[in-house]
Structure 1
Amino acid sequence: MPLGPGGQGPEIAGDVPLASRDIVVRTASPNDHTVRQATGQPPTETPALRIRRPRGALLAIGVDAGGTTVRVEAWRGGRRARRAELAAVEVAALPALLRRLWRGWRLSPARVGALVVASRGIWTAAERRRLEGSVRGLARRVRAISDAQAAYLGALGGGAGLLVLAGTGSIVIGRRPTGSWNRAGGLGPLLGDEGSAFWIGREWLRARTGGGSARARTVPRGPSPVARIAALAPRVVARARRGDREPARIVREAQRHLARLAREVARDLRLRSPVRASWAGSLLVRDAWFRAGLRREVTRALGPARWTAPAEPPVRAAARLARALLDERRA
């Protein structure tokens, strides 16, 4: 169900000075309230915002909790009312992060009709139930899904196909025509994430330092080592694009890793050729050159695919699911 026009968002009277320097508030339009974290720390409580909320209108909120950023969109009716981008936290710390955001928005859980949290590290029914239990006090109805599933639904909607996700981590997720899911990868930086931004950054550090220099030892000891190593990937890809031999080797191997994961999922699900496919994650969304190389490797690995640009970002798909959950409650 697309998020179309209709409904009313809150009226926001310009930018509001905040008590903490950690948050910058911008008003892009009368119906678009953006909170963007500037320092990488969880937001602190803010003073009351000058918002007039229509009585009886419940919010539907979607959350995309990835490896680097937590994105939040709140919708009222058919319009986006608020959004936020926050530094990523561990899954166990996600409920506390959202509670602080609710306080900063002066938002009562009673006003949140439905909340859908799409998170990394979530796949099994037990994992979903655990996360749902931890966020249950934040909304009237809650649901947890994998961030990869939200990315798939945002990119391809319903139906069969596969999605290649390469951001801080990596995973390939596929769906049968019957609606059942399968995946390959997504095991995290310790066990997998081949072809991801983290993997590319780590391979570059190994190639540059030999794995035993002082520089190679200091990077994992700093704050947020996975994010810091993943942040090297765009520079490695840029060097590969210019023809530098070692970066080109690393990037080509990353694309092959992702293509092998895609082949594994397509075969397990017995998806018919040409496979319907799309992409997600910062590495693929932001770099058309890297994406083109992946498409070539996927063609070599499993045959032709019908590539479709993502229709909407994962956080929008999560918000759309929240809208459906809210409508289901009203029915």
Structure 2
Amino acid sequence: MSVRRHRHVPGARVRGLAVGTDVGGTWIRVATDHAPGVLTVRSTREPAVLARLLRALWRRRGFTRGRVDALVVASRGVWTAGECAALAHRLRGLARRVRVVPDAQAAHRGALVDRPGVLLLAGTGSIVVGRDARGRWARAGGLGPLLGDEGSAFSIGREWLRAGSRGGRWQAALAAARAAEPVARIAALAPAVLRRARRGDRRARAIARRAQAALAEHARDVVRQLRLRAPVDASWAGSVLEDAWFRRGLVRALARAGVRARWRRPATTPAAAALRMATRLRAGR
């Protein structure tokens, strides 16, 4: 058996890594083209802390700016070009080329593979984004726990605590609100609320229906902003929408809202979409 050996060309540079990072409200997921699988670490809501977290992760993995050719960070909490550029500037020491995009846009690209349509994202927070055939983006929601996040895990957990605090039973709600990382702690209640809803708990079902209706209303808003033609391609992302029972209710809620949708299972994850964008960035595209 013959073995082909590739002669090293003096001065030639070995191609560096492409890294895609999905920064959600609870978890950071990192994918590279160097190794299979996704590395998952706890997230943060502070951009300055995010930079420190990623630098620490780079040290653990042996990554350096010279070794990472391209990094794409799909981050919550950014939308405008200025916001993306500011975060990219904070992360400039991690790779030769750094690009920041909104996490919902990466989720859309991953789920619908660059097709026009809407992406409903409900994890710790929530947002609905859409893209038309001309590449224009629109959004509804995504205003954070103080002003929005309707239909998210946080809103489901918050509504459950509110409902349970009546009749003088306010201690659990107040303890959750005063805890360290209260948004994540309250959002962590959502899976149990949805399990109760599946089993027929009336209070939990009412909370789930309101969450589904809120997401459907956001989706209708985006469809109207972009004037998307029916049937509108629709997909989903986020931990809440991994629940098949909740998702079936959302399908019905969107139909009741007057949106005729063609639902598509997500083609890939936001982290994988960010990695795909990083490989393009490495190639100069």
* TM-score, normalisation: structure 2: 0.92
1:294 corresponds to which of 210, 230, 250: 250
Q: Which residue of 2 aligns with 1:309?
A: 265
Q: Does 1:156 align with 2:112?
A: yes
Give distance in 2, aligned partners of 1:81 and 1:291: 29
2:228 corresponds to which of 267, 271, 276: 271
- Which 4+ runs in 1 deviate beyond 6 A? none
**1:61-110 alpha-carbon deviations (Å, 9 max, x no partner):** 0000000000111113xxx3564211011222111111111111122210
Q: Does 1:196 align with 2:152?
A: yes
**1:31-61 alpha-carbon deviations (Å, 9 max, x no partner):** xxxxxxxxxxxxxxxxxxxxxxxx7131000
Q: Which residue of 1 aligns with 2:214?
A: 257
Local SS of the residue matching 1:63 = strand
1:131-280 to 2 correspondences below 5 Å: 131-210=87-166, 213-280=170-237
Give distance in 1, aligned partners of 2:66 and 2:36: 16
Local SS of the residue matching 1:110 = coil
Please tell me the residue identity of whatever aligns with 2:139: R
Against the structure 1 CA distance between its residues 103 and 82, is the aligned structure 2 distance closer, same or farther, given a 3 Å change threshold? farther
Q: Which moved more, 1:80-89 or 1:315-324?
A: 80-89
Give distance in 2, aligned partners of 1:154 and 1:305: 18
Q: Mind listing any 5+ residue stretches in structure 2 that lack a counterpart? A: 1-12
Pairwise CA distance, 1:303: 2.9
Q: Does 1:92 align with 2:48?
A: yes
2:29 corresponds to which of 60, 63, 71: 71
Please tell me the residue identity of whatever aligns with 1:95: A
Q: Which residue of 2 aligns with 1:3?
A: none
Q: Which moved more, 1:253-262 or 1:91-100?
A: 91-100
Contact 2:17/2:33, CA 8 A, preserved across alignment: yes
Local SS of the residue matching 1:328 = coil
Pairwise CA distance, 1:214: 2.1
**1:15-43 alpha-carbon deviations (Å, 9 max, x no partner):** xxxxxxxxxxxxxxxxxxxxxxxxxxxxx
Local SS of the residue matching 1:302 = coil
Q: Which moved more, 1:208-217 or 1:89-98?
A: 208-217
Pairwise CA distance, 1:302: 2.6
Tell me which protein shows more strand as a share of its residues. 1
Q: Which residue of 1 aligns with 2:83?
A: 127
Pairwise CA distance, 1:129: 0.7
Give distance in 2, aligned partners of 1:214 and 1:271: 47
Q: Which residue of 1 aligns with 2:62?
A: 106
Give distance in 2, aligned partners of 1:181 and 1:304: 20
Contact 1:148/1:165, CA 8 A, preserved across alignment: yes
**1:174-219 alpha-carbon deviations (Å, 9 max, x no partner):** 0011001000000000110011110000000010112872222111
Contact 1:91/1:120, CA 8 A, preserved across alignment: no
Pairwise CA distance, 1:157: 1.3
Q: Which residue of 2 aligns with 1:23?
A: none
Work out the number of aligned pairs and report it.
271
Local SS of the residue matching 1:289 = helix
Against the structure 1 CA distance between its residues 82 and 194, is the aligned structure 2 distance closer, same or farther, given a 3 Å change threshold? closer
Local SS of the residue matching 1:189 = helix
Q: Which moved more, 1:185-194 or 1:300-309?
A: 300-309
Q: Which residue of 2 aligns with 1:325?
A: 281
Give distance in 2, aligned partners of 1:244 and 1:185: 28
Q: Which residue of 1 aligns with 2:19?
A: 61
Contact 2:164/2:170, CA 8 A, preserved across alignment: no
Tell me which protein shows more helix as a share of its residues. 2
Give distance in 1, aligned partners of 2:169 and 2:137: 41
Q: Which residue of 1 aligns with 2:10?
A: none
Please tell me the residue identity of whatever aligns with 2:206: R
Give distance in 2, aligned partners of 1:92 and 1:262: 32
Contact 1:115/1:139, CA 8 A, preserved across alignment: yes
* TM-score, normalisation: structure 1: 0.80
Pairwise CA distance, 1:284: 0.4
Contact 1:147/1:314, CA 8 A, preserved across alignment: yes
